[in-house]
Amino acid sequence: MLSVGDAAPDFSVYDHNKTQIRLNDFAGSKVVLWFYPKADTPGCTMEGQGFRDEFEKFQNKGVVILGVSLDSPEDNMAFAKKFNFPYPLLCDENREIATAYQAVKSDADNYAARITYVIGGDGKILEAIEKVDTTNHASQLCSRL
């Protein structure tokens, strides 16, 4: 994983709504970049619902939520609609983000690791979270930001 204090790699990718998203678009804001293995699977659903349920609290703190997987825009669109996710799900089909953030180790990896980064408004990594409990990850993270 990247380390606290490292510069967060910029990226440009489309989300589930086919909107182009760049990390630099959020300069000056904290960003939670949470990687999940596969859309609409039990653990990813639980984690995504946690971010959904805490979304307003994150917004009130000026924190941007971005989910990232290797899934297609169609799969992420269905996932977002099914569970009413109010935040972008980034479709990293080319592994640009997952590679830069070490959520995949090689081209042979079919899924991103379940990891989270908190990026400060200055573009530096504030937290790198390797072990995620899907049941309370979002609420615990929100409480300390």
Instruction: Tell me what pLDDT residue 34 has.
Output: 98
Instruction: Tell me what pLDDT residue 23 has.
Output: 97
Catalytic residue ranges: 44
> Which CATH entry fits the domain spanning 12-144: 3.30.479.20, 3.40.50.720, 3.40.30.10, 3.30.70.2190?
3.40.30.10
Instruction: Tell me what pLDDT residue 108 has.
Output: 85
Instruction: Tell me what pLDDT residue 44 has.
Output: 96
Instruction: Tell me what pLDDT residue 107 has.
Output: 81
pTM of the model: 0.96
Domain ranges of the chain: 12-144
Residue pLDDT tens, the chain, 145 long: 999 999 999 999 999 999 999 999 999 999 999 999 999 999 999 999 999 999 999 999 999 999 999 999 999 999 999 999 999 999 999 999 999 999 999 888 999 999 999 999 999 999 999 999 999 999 999 999 9
Pairs from 43-46 (Cβ < 8 Å, separation ≥ 24): 43/114, 43/134, 44/69, 44/79, 44/114, 44/134, 45/79, 45/83, 46/134, 46/135
